[in-house]
Structure 1
Amino acid sequence: MTRTVLIADDEPNILVSLEFMLRREGHRILTAGDGTGALDLIRRERPSLVLLDATMPGLTGFEVCEAVRADPSIAGTRILMLSAKARPTDMARGLGAGADAYVTKPFATAELLERIRGLLT
């Protein structure tokens, strides 16, 4: 079953590698390089899952997550935060903002795919 996945990250190498990996899994991929663009795409396209970097230009991933959870029309969107911020306080902030999962960079591809599959079921 094809699902739409939004990858929001300001690092082009991460966008390209995640896009390749998820297309290979059969998903329709949207990308955004900043938080403002990510929020716009979430509202317009209603993706099944958002892979959201915590630190991006415009709105941060934390702010995007909070905005999604505050909007009843998109509040059910599944969000997996990806971040190089690995301190327990950062993880707590991401989950507190409403993320369904929090994965730190660098990540193991197999583990990330498993988390994604779990969130899409």
Structure 2
Amino acid sequence: MAKGIEPDNCFYIENEAKVRGKECLDLTVDTPPDLAIEIDVTSRTHTNIYASLGVRELWRFEGRKLEMYILENTKYIESKFSLHFPDLPLIEIIPEYCDRCKIIGRNQTMKIFRNWVREQI
């Protein structure tokens, strides 16, 4: 806990109601995010820090590869499926949509991705 970390993005999914309305979070008393996302460009993800905070799911994206990790006890175990989105083949789909961004742009890609998700659920 003596070290700090700042994910590229993090989300409260199961625990959203516990932090709703809070302007500042204190992870010594507040629930940690359910999902953290790291996009590794210049540095490596420090999984031990996320594990010590209790972040249940960690996604690491490097180049064209998405890796998903689920926290079991105090260690991350690599997984082919998301804990929070188990029915979506995200490891295959996310890199494809990242490639689409380069061709048709972010906004159009996000619109198509959202429609795909709606079709899946």
> TM-score w.r.t. structure 2 length?
0.31
Larger RCO: 1 or 2 (CA < 8 Å, sep 6+): 1
Bigger-Rg structure (1/2): 2
Using the size of structure 1 for normalisation, the TM-score is 0.31
